[in-house]
Amino acid sequence: MKLTIKNKVVTLGGSSFVKNEAGEDVYAVKGRIISPMRRKFIKDMDGKTLYQVRNKWFTILFPKAYILDAEGNKIAKVRNDGILGFRLEGYTDEITVSRGVTFTREIFKNGKKIGETKRNIDVLRDSFTLEIDDGEDIPFFVALVIAIDNIRDNSKD
């Protein structure tokens, strides 16, 4: 499945659109207006929270983010490994995201490539394409892209 994740041009909390190839909204990402940890909620089109993403409160060297389930329980820590890319810790499967030479990053699950994410050129807002194999937990990988974007934004601050 191929999705486009675009931050809204005007938003106070960092909300985003998630659209399929036909341009239809499939998920929504809602941010809070005041959120030092940049908490964001991945929701289905009925408004039900599927996952949450938030930054680690304090990091010394490499910024980190957490992916939480709908109830707020931590299920994975996303870690920036510098030139190596990003890696998930604490998740049931081994998930890594390569650091590409271009804007494209490959996503691996237990050593097998299952998709890729690409940063799109958009002057006014962050925009990403996520392509993931059918049968995978699509909202989880949307949360992963949001977590990586949070980490990158946190690194710029």
Nearest 5°: phi and psi at 155? Answer: -70, -25
Of 106, 54, 72, 43, nearest to 95 by C-alpha is 106
* Beta-bridge partner residues of 131: 2, 116
**CATH number of the domain encompassing residue 149:** 2.40.160.200
Sign of the CA dihedral running 91, 154, 121, 7? positive
Confidence tier at 74 by pLDDT (50, 70, 90)? very high
The neighbour count for residue 91, using CB atoms within 10 Å, is 16
Q: How confident is the model at residue 157, as a pLDDT?
A: 44
23-47 pLDDT tens trace: 999 999 988 765 555 789 999 999 9
**Residue 129 reports pLDDT greater than 80:** yes
Mean pLDDT of the chain: 85
Q: What's the structural domain count of the chain?
A: 1
What mean pLDDT comes out for the span 1-15?
77
Range of the domain at 112: 2-156
CA distances from 39 to 14, 53, 54, 99, 109 (A): 9, 6, 4, 24, 25
Beta-carbon-side half-sphere exposure of residue 44 (alpha carbons within 13 Å)? 6
Is the overall model pTM greater than 0.85, yes or no? yes
Of 113, 118, 112, nearest to 130 by C-alpha is 118
Of 64, 30, 12, 13, nearest to 142 by C-alpha is 30
Confidence tier at 156 by pLDDT (50, 70, 90)? low
Query: Which spans in the chain are helix H?
Result: 138-156
Confidence tier at 80 by pLDDT (50, 70, 90)? confident
**Residue 137 reports pLDDT greater than 60:** yes
